[in-house]
Structure 1
Amino acid sequence: MFLHVQKLINEIVPDEPDPAAANALQEGLGGQFGEMRTMIQYLFQSFNFRGATGKPYRDLLYGVGTEEISHVELIGTTIARLTDGSPRYNGKATKPVDEPGKGGATPLSDALSMGNIHHYLVAGQGALPVDSAGNPWSGSYVYNSGNLVLDLLYNLMLESTGRLQKCRIYEMTSNKTARATISYLIVRDQAHENAYAKALESLGIDWGRTLPIPKTDAERFPEVKKLLDQGLHLKQYTFSADNLSEAGKIYRGSAPAAVGGGTLSTEQMPDGFPMDIAVERPEEFAPGLDPDLLALVQATAELELADADDPGSNGASASPATASTKSAVKKK
């Protein structure tokens, strides 16, 4: 089973809308080396794992795969914020309606000149399961050979390539919202490189000669250096609610020198950051629950509660509740 905590794994820093940066981030979400790929690949390797004596390796895959779910959540939410705008980007009341920033809106006219038009045309100013060219994410990306060594080697290559691409995306934008998320993912990719490199070393494999890790010099990015100084690249989360994970048997001791060195440790999960729900987007015909809809919801809920409190009703008032709701809708 999986549990969901209503917190983001990293803080989304507010800044102005940037649809172009949002589209670049789509590569980190739905591209061949993106977060959707790592999430599905590691979890399927976990589901298909064989051999009870290899439980620490399975648990390591489970922990990283579960974390990748939170990365999909983080990057998807970041893309939505970049297309939607932010609380401090309010524009000027005197500007025409079709100019960016009027009333906090990101007008649909932006969709014709910036980013991915499908963020507006299809997704209501939200993320999509596609890459930066708009190609749909494909399950054919997933590598699950059934051979532990091959899977670990492939995973190490996947994390290294993902980190390389995120360093490039970082350089493409100065937007604080985008860079905060990108920097966090760069550092966590390094932690996952440590995980798979350490697992291969425990199996007696000199992976450093087989697959040298590309040097990205990411510590020159201020946001990345701050996280590295905190040791975030040396922690691996188990996300094990019952604390039965044995991933700590592998993710411990000295980190591989080729990915930075240091001392590795495991934790159950990070504290997380508050998760807010985005504001309604009337220009997308996605207004949320307006007062009329809320009134209908409340009326229906009150009828259903009254029905539940009446032990002799046996659901008899269900039809009147539905009829009442339909009647209210027709009146509108």
Structure 2
Amino acid sequence: MYFHVQQLINEIEQDEPDPAAANALQEGLGGQFGEMRTMMQYLFQSMNFRGPSAKPYKDLIQGIGTEEISHVELIGTTISRLLDGSPRYQGKPTDPVDAPGAKGAIPLNIALSESNIHHYLVGAQGAMPVDAAGNPWLGSYVYNSGNLVLDLLYNLMLESTGRLQKCRLYEMTDNKTARSTISYLIVRDQAHENAYAKALETLGVNWRTSLPIPKTNAEKFPEVARLLEMGLQSKQYSFDLTNLSEAGRIFQGMSPSNDGTKLDASEQAPVGVPMTIAPERFEEFSPGADTELQELIEATAAMEMADIERTFGEMS
């Protein structure tokens, strides 16, 4: 079972909307080496895992796959925030729904030149399951051979390629919203490189000086350096409420990245940061709830909360 804590795994800094950066980040979400790929690949590998004696490897793959769900949430939310707002529209909640286009205004004109038009035409200024060229995410990306060594090798390649692309993304934009997420994912991709490399070490592979891949001097990026100082590249979480994960039997000892740090699998999950729901976008008619609908929505939410509190007790 999977449980959702309504917090983001990392803080997203505030900056101006940047549709071009949002489109570039789509590669890190729905591209061949993006977060949707890692999430689906590791979860399918863990679901299809065979061999009870190899449970620590299953737990390692499953823990990383569970973290990748939060990465999909993080990068998708970041894309949405980078798209959130139109420079030429300053609408108010009291405006009628046709006000954005009144007097010849074209509040979505930025969609024609600065981004993926589908972000505005189809997605209401939100992330989509596509790459930076607009190609849809494909289930055929998922690699699940059933062979432990092959899967671990492929996973290491996947994390390394993802880290390479995110280092390139970092150098494509100076937007703080984009960079806060890109930097976090650069460091966590290195942690996952370390996890799969350590797993392969237990199976006889000696990495010596190969890691991290790529050798990009990413530690010189100020946002990355802060996270490295926190040791985030050498932590792996279990996301296991029952404390049955055996991944710590693998994720231990000195880091394969040869950076002098020790691997630490003692934490169940990171603390997380508060989540906020994006404001309405009147020019997109999103969510498109008039007064009567809004009243129904609020009444339904109150009923659901009452049911939850009856089942689990009062929520603080």
Coordinate RMSD, CA, aligned:
2.4
Alpha carbons of structure 1 residues 254 and 296: separation in structure 2 relative to 1, 3 Å: closer
* Aligned equivalents of 1:302, 1:11: Cα separation in 2: 28
| TM-score, normalising length: structure 2 | 0.86
Q: Look up the SS of the partner of 2:264 in the other structure.
A: strand
Give distance in 2, aligned partners of 1:56 and 1:137: 30
User: Cα distance, 1:115 vs. partner?
Assistant: 1.1
1:209 and 1:229 map into 2 onto residues whose CA distance is: 21
Aligned partners of 2:27, 2:126: CA distance in 1, in Å? 15
- Counterpart contact for 1:157–1:211, Cα < 8 Å: no
> Secondary structure of 1:264's match?
coil
Q: How far, CA to CA, are the matches of 1:116 and 1:163 in structure 2?
A: 23
**Contact 1:35 1:72 (8 Å CA) reproduced:** yes
Change (3 A) 1:221 1:41: same
2:236 alignment partner, SS class: strand
Deviation at 1:206, TM superposition (A): 2.7
CA positional deviation for 1:302:
10
* Superposition map of 1:49-64 within 5 A: 49-64=49-64
Aligned partner of 1:198 in structure 2 is 198
Give the 3-state SS of the residue equivalent to 1:252 in structure 2. coil
Structure 2 Cα separation of the partners of residues 60 and 302 of structure 1: 39
Q: CA deviation at 1:287?
A: 3.6
Greater RCO between the two (CA within 8 Å, min separation 6)? 2
Distance 1:275 1:117 in 2: 27
Alpha-carbon offset, residue 214 of structure 1: 2.4
| Partner residue, 2:264 | 265
Cα distance in 2 for partners of 1:71, 1:32 equals: 15
Q: What is aligned with 1:241?
A: 241
Q: Distance in 2 between matches of 1:101 and 1:179?
A: 26
Letter in 2 for 1:262: T
Residue deviations 1:220-251 (CA, integer Å, cap 9, x gap): 10000000011011100000011110000000
Q: Which residue of 2 aligns with 1:167?
A: 167
Tell me, in whole angstroms, the C-alpha distance in 2 between the residues paired with 1:203 and 1:277: 45
Are the structure 2 counterparts of residues 227 and 114 from structure 1 closer, same or farther at C-alpha, using a change threshold of 3 Å?
Answer: same
Contact kept? 2:7, 2:275, Cα under 8 Å: yes
Work out the CA distance in 1 between the residues paired with 2:301 and 2:75. Answer: 35
Indicate whether 1:102 and 2:101 are aligned: no
2:184 and 2:288 mapped to 1: Cα distance? 31
Contact 1:200 1:207 in 2 (8 A): no
Q: What letter is aligned with 1:6? A: Q
1:86-97 mapped onto 2 (5 Å cutoff): none
Q: Percent identity at matched positions?
A: 72
More deviation, 290-299/272-281: 290-299
- Aligned residue type for 2:27: E
Residue 18 (structure 2) pairs with residue 30 (structure 1) = no
> Which runs of 5 or more structure 2 residues have no equivalent in the other structure?
93-99, 101-105, 304-316
Does structure 1 conserve the Cα–Cα contact (< 8 Å) formed by 2:208 and 2:256?
A: no
Rg comparison, structure with higher value = 1
Distance 1:115 1:247, change over 3 A: same
User: Cα distance, 1:107 vs. partner?
Assistant: 3.0
- Greater shift, 206-215 or 70-79, is seen at 206-215
Distance 1:211 1:222, change over 3 A: closer
* Equivalent pair of 1:44/1:144 in contact (CA under 8 Å): yes
> Are 1:31 and 1:130, in contact at CA under 8 Å, matched by a contact in 2?
yes
Q: Deviations over 1:22-44 (max 9, x none)?
A: 00000000001000000000010
For 1:118, the equivalent position in structure 2 comes to: 118
Distance across 2 between alignment mates of 1:255 and 1:299: 52
Q: Which residue of 2 aligns with 1:143?
A: 143
- Give matches, 1:156-235, under 5 Å: 156-207=156-207, 213-235=213-235
In 2 relative to 1, CA 235–298 (structure 1 residues): closer, same or farther, beyond 3 Å?
closer
